[in-house]
Amino acid sequence: MVITKREQGNVVILDLEGEIRRSDTTSVSVHQHVKEQLDAGKRDLLLNFDKVPFIDSFGIGEILASYISTQNIGGRLKLTGISKRLLLVFQVTQLTRVLDIQDNEEKALASFLKG
């Protein structure tokens, strides 16, 4: 998994590329990247899943841990670029009730402005 960071205004966008699974122990996890941004004082985070073809239960745990860490300090975590296949995983785990999943990056960025 490769994670690249970019910023749009006050929002940090983490572009995720590759599978999010336990077997990928060579790279820094999604949650570690999110924690780094939170520790740096960033509070609005957007995870872009455009290039993520697969996520396993470990990956779901990473996303949930990222959400909890962000919520605990009054931040906001949103997701975008979720394929139909990945959306099904989030629906089955009922995380669509908890996570803020936006249709596209433009809508996600606009939703941060709404509060």
Contacts with 21 (C-beta within 8 Å, 6 or more apart), sequence order: 54, 55, 56, 58, 59
CATH of the domain at 81: 3.30.750.24
Whether residue 115 is contained in a domain is answered as no
Whether residue 7 is contained in a domain is answered as yes
Whether residue 60 is contained in a domain is answered as yes
Residue ranges making up the domain that contains 46? 2-109
What's the confidence (pLDDT) of residue 23? 73
Whether residue 48 is contained in a domain is answered as yes
What's the confidence (pLDDT) of residue 49? 98
94 vs 90: CA distance, rounded Å = 6
Whether residue 82 is contained in a domain is answered as yes
- Among residues 65, 48, 54, 64, the alpha carbon closest in space to that of 89 is found at 54
Contacts with 97 (C-beta within 8 Å, 6 or more apart), sequence order: none
Number of structural domains the chain divides into: 1
Whether residue 59 is contained in a domain is answered as yes
Q: What is the pTM of this model?
A: 0.94
What's the confidence (pLDDT) of residue 115? 64
Digitized pLDDT (tens) for each residue of the chain, 115 residues in all: 899 999 999 999 999 999 998 875 556 799 999 999 999 999 999 999 999 999 999 999 999 999 999 999 999 999 999 999 999 999 999 999 999 999 999 999 999 998 6
